[in-house]
């Protein structure tokens, strides 16, 4: 069974230069892809350059990948006392999301991708059940990630009735959220398993479900 501690708070200080470099790298990546801080757009930004928004939530950078979609506002909202279940991919951040290295995931498709071409990797040893989180102080995952998920939209279902009265359930996708953590709100200046000390992290939450 694969075990990994996802809730180790930064227990040793990280110097300001390291934190500032991490912030610069995250913002350079996001802005380079047309994603700017909500409410703080450059005056000379052309509308066709804007591809999305990020928010800074208590130091964490939150980017909802699929924010611009119809019906999002009708979905359940994650409250600060919600109980949720999530599927996610946690990575050691390296200048952009795609080149970042997974250190934990419960997404089957991601595990299959990691196993491809690597005969030593055993995806069956990793958990594939959703992670249950009781906000706001669950011990299963970093508090900085928990705080960033508050306000996001969760997956849902609705019943559609056709002209003949037949009913079908339609699944409505929730937010896909990337949460970028500078080292001071991640694992700090401490090595945690295979995550080096002082690492910047990014969590991509691909599915959120409110269960309570």
Q: Is 72 exposed, middle or buried (0-12, 13-18, 19+ CB in 10 A)?
A: middle
Asked whether the predicted pLDDT for residue 10 surpasses 60, the reply is no
Domains in the chain, ordered, with CATH?
A: 21-210 (3.10.50.40)
Confidence of residue 11 (pLDDT cuts 50, 70, 90): low
Of 7-16, 51-60, 99-108, 193-202, the one with minimum mean pLDDT is 7-16
Q: Is 17 exposed, middle or buried (0-12, 13-18, 19+ CB in 10 A)?
A: exposed
pLDDT at 118: 84
pLDDT at 1: 44
Q: Has this prediction a pTM greater than 0.85?
A: yes
Mean pLDDT of the chain: 92
């Amino acid at each position: 069974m694969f075990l990994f501690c996802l809730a180790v708070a930064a227990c040793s200080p990280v110097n300001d230069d390291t934190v500032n470099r991490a912030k610069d790298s995250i913002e350079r990546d996001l802005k380079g892809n047309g994603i700017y801080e909500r409410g703080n757009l450059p005056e000379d930004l052309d509308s066709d350059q804007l591809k999305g928004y990020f928010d800074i939530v208590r130091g964490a950078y939150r980017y909802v990948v699929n924010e611009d979609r119809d019906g999002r506002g009708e979905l359940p909202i994650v409250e600060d006392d919600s109980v949720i279940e999530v599927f996610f991919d946690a990575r050691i951040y390296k200048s952009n999301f795609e080149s970042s290295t997974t250190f934990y995931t419960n997404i089957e498709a991601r595990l299959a991708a990691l196993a491809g071409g690597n005969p030593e990797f055993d995806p069956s040893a990793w958990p594939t059940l959703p992670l249950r989180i009781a906000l706001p102080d669950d011990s299963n995952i970093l508090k900085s990630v928990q705080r960033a998920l508050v306000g996001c939209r969760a997956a849902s279902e609705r019943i559609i009735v056709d002209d003949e009265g037949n009913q079908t359930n339609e699944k409505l996708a929730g937010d896909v959220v990337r949460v970028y953590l500078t080292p001071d709100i991640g694992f700090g200046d401490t090595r945690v398993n295979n995550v080096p000390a002082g690492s910047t992290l990014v969590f991509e939450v691909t599915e959120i479900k409110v269960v309570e």
